[in-house]
């Protein structure tokens, strides 16, 4: 969903337990009394301890709206993202997580699927290209358009990757998800939206237990 003014952020944030705002990281979101999480100056990522410390603030009952802002949310490590995700599965009343990022599609799909995504119209990041290796982008495109036998053969090819096969498959799925979002916003073609839940399900399954070919086929077809 697009929005036009940063002043809309507080009200939009109240609509759900978790919102992702695709705006420049240099912008200050007008959230009063927000608990702010951001990477330390000497660090390049947001670690699990920072997330755990923030989650301690959401353990009690809250009568008024409380915002927890994660700046440059794409910098969360895998462990931090998973710890944050567990909290989203059991949302608490009047607590609102706000993720600010210039690259929303670098946030893991499991979080992306549980949040409302808002894109600042004048800074539309969907018009930017996909940041990935040509091979990854090519396979992601093929996954989006392939079906039947062709898709099974493509899944087999991806599963045969010798080194870091799981990471390889997850990168392809992540780019496919990003491409589907961007293609839908540009074309309004519902077919891209229909594919998203399948890609997200396959990503989740492979991230949890591997079995690359099984989930690429079973979750997608």
What is the pLDDT at residue 122?
Answer: 64
Query: Quick one: three-class SS letters along 37-101?
Result: ECCCCCCCCECHHHHHHHHHHHCCCCCCCEEEEEECHHHECHHHHHHHHHHHCCCCCCEEEEEEE
pLDDT at 6: 93
Residue 31 to residue 7: CA distance in whole angstroms: 9
* Mean per-residue pLDDT over the chain, rounded: 87
Alpha-carbon dihedral sign for residues 22, 28, 34, 40: positive
Residue-wise pLDDT tens digits, 167-199: 999 999 989 998 888 888 778 888 888 888 888
Helix (H) or strand (E) holding 24: none
By three-state DSSP, how is residue 2 classified? strand
**Residue 18: its pLDDT value, please?**
93
Alpha carbon distance 31, 160 (integer Å): 48
- pLDDT band at residue 123, thresholds of 50, 70 and 90? low
Predicted local confidence at residue 40, as pLDDT: 77
* pLDDT, tens digit (0-9, with 9 covering 90-100), for 52-103: 888 887 767 778 888 999 999 999 998 999 989 888 877 788 889 999 998 8
pTM: 0.70
Say how many CA atoms lie within 13 Å of 51 toward its Cβ.
21
φ, ψ dihedrals at 163, nearest 5°? -105, 130
């Amino acid at each position: 969903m697009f929005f036009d003014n940063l002043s809309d952020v507080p009200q939009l944030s109240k609509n759900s337990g978790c919102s992702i705002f695709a705006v420049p990281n240099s912008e200050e979101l007008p959230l009063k009394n927000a608990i702010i999480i951001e990477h330390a100056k000497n660090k390049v990522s947001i670690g699990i301890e920072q997330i755990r410390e923030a989650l301690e603030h959401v353990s009690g009952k809250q009568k008024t709206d409380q915002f927890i802002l994660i700046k440059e949310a794409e910098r969360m490590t895998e462990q931090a993202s998973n710890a944050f995700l567990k909290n989203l599965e059991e949302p608490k009343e009047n607590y609102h997580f706000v993720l600010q990022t210039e690259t929303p599609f670098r946030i893991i799909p499991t979080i992306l699927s549980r949040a409302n995504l808002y894109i600042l119209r004048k800074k539309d990041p969907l018009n930017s290209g996909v940041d990935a290796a040509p091979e990854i982008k090519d396979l992601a495109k093929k996954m989006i358009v392939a079906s039947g036998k062709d898709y099974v053969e493509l899944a087999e090819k991806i599963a045969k990757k010798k080194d870091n096969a799981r990471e390889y498959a997850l990168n392809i799925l992540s780019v496919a998800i990003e491409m589907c979002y961007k293609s839908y916003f540009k074309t309004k073609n519902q077919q891209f939206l229909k594919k998203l839940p399948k890609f997200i399900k396959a990503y989740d399954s492979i991230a949890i237990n591997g079995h690359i070919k099984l989930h690429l086929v079973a979750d997608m077809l």
